[in-house]
Structure 1
């Protein structure tokens, strides 16, 4: 492969990588309400286009809530059997793979009150 062809290929790869980085979006889950009970997260997610590289930001009062990524069954049953709760109050979850993602609050009763989120990507 000639030197100029290698330079062109490297340039194409760099432009592609930069395009993916520049177009990533941070989504504040629940917008100004944040990650709390009493929010319709299905309505919040409706119409949003989530992509690999985007970040979900879960903002809440420290100690009041947490975030656990779960599978579909755990989501539907509001019971996390695996996964480490995120507890900083400003937790960031990068979408690193395609497919549906499921999140719940692991504080007793909160998921049952609707503090849960499912997203799908484009």
Structure 2
């Protein structure tokens, strides 16, 4: 068995909730990100990863998770939001295929 020395970079959205009905316009996306070193960047995509919106990440304190927020302009319809984090050492969450792949939610924008 191999010991765990480092935690892979990861993130998850907590607001809005998955399948939540929200109003069109500027929406604040919130969540948490973590890594063995500090998280340097969190990005949100509303177009399946074609483009990314940079969020604000709180500073790391001890080994605590880091809160992030991002303002995302959403149009009416059903869509998907994806979040990914990048660590200070440059490690980025993969889009697929790993246990720490990007987190996604569905939103119903009215």
| Bucket of the pairwise TM-score, normalised by the shorter protein | 0.3 to 0.5
Larger fraction in strand: 2
- From the CA coordinates, give the structure whose radius of gyration is larger: 1
TM-score for the superposition, normalised by structure 1: 0.42
State the structure with bigger RCO (CA 8 A, min sep 6), 1 or 2. 2
Higher helix share: 1
TM-score, normalising length: structure 2: 0.45
